[in-house]
Amino acid sequence: MPDAAAVPHTSSSGGDSEEKTKSADKSSRSRKLKHDVIEAVNELIQDIGTCHEQIAEQAVEHIHQNEVILTLGSSRTVLEFLCAANEKKRSFRVFVAEGAPRYQGHLLAKELVARGLQTTLITDSAVFAMISRVNMVIVGAHAVMANGGVIAPVGLNMVALAAQRHAVPFVVLAGSHKLCPLYPHNPEVLLNELRSPSELLDFGEFSDCMDFGSGTASPLLHVVNPTFDYVPPKLVNLFITDTGGHNPSYMYRLIADYYSADDLVVQRRPAIGS
């Protein structure tokens, strides 16, 4: 009787080799992605570090002799911009609105005086009274939206309206890292945040007013302390970025150059009850 045919032995080495190849490819892609991300972050950090100087280099093109400039609060970009014009022997005066309730304008006024600029500190409520003496408003920004609108420190919308009323140019300084591809009507955009009421008043002095009234189940006094204003593009005359000056209508195109379609994918908030 003939011997039974031997059953061929299937080796697993081929499958193991394929798995190792896939694992190596995945590891290689991960390393490349990590390298690309680190490179992009380092480039962004470098851009942030140099944008103030690049914007300041354009100061002499916009600030002229014996002009009066108005700003509000404190911004390093605005500080460097004004000082750069002063270093080029441009003589001008700066009105600084104090930027209540944090009064960051006090810090900016001290910095300007220390660096030899003629400075006048005013209250925020005095902006409309003083705007007729002003040649240009120059302010910083928290973010520049895709429609050319600006998320800025609270109080700047009032300044922009006063500037428009008196036909005073309203100029916004913003580095490219502050360009945002979203629109203010996007549900993912949180236009504001509320800061502590203690910046406006001392709780001890108003504790009776903040106590709960009889039968109302709510405090008698509410304190609202927003951080930001939204300035619509129609109130802005010019944006000065580290790449040059741009009209508000061009900002969407400038932002499109910085962001791809993949960057616009934002995780939506889950619906209530889902």
**What pTM value is reported for the model?**
0.79
pLDDT digits (tens, 9 = 90+) for 177-231: 899 998 888 776 777 888 988 888 877 776 666 655 555 556 777 888 999 999 9
Domain-located, residue 55: no
Domain-located, residue 10: no
- Contact in structure between 246 and 165 (CB atoms under 8 Å): no
C-alpha–C-alpha distance, residues 122 and 126, integer Å:
6
Domain-located, residue 177: yes
- Contact in structure between 183 and 216 (CB atoms under 8 Å): no
User: The domain containing residue 111 runs over which residues?
Assistant: 71-192+227-261
% helix, strand, coil for the chain, step of 5: 45, 15, 40
- Contact in structure between 228 and 122 (CB atoms under 8 Å): no
Domain-located, residue 127: yes
Is the pLDDT reported for residue 271 higher than 70?
Answer: no
Domain-located, residue 197: no
pLDDT digits (tens, 9 = 90+) for 136-153: 999 999 999 999 999 999
Domain-located, residue 168: yes
Domain-located, residue 4: no
Q: How many domains does the chain have?
A: 1
Domain-located, residue 22: no
The angle at the Cα of 79, spanning 246 to 74, to the nearest 5 degrees, equals 100
Instruction: Extract the tokens encoding 189.
Output: 């955009």
Q: What is the CATH number of the domain that holds 111?
A: 3.40.50.10470
Instruction: Extract the tokens encoding 105.
Output: 């304008």
C-alpha–C-alpha distance, residues 90 and 59, integer Å:
10
- pLDDT category at 274 given cuts 50, 70, 90 is very low
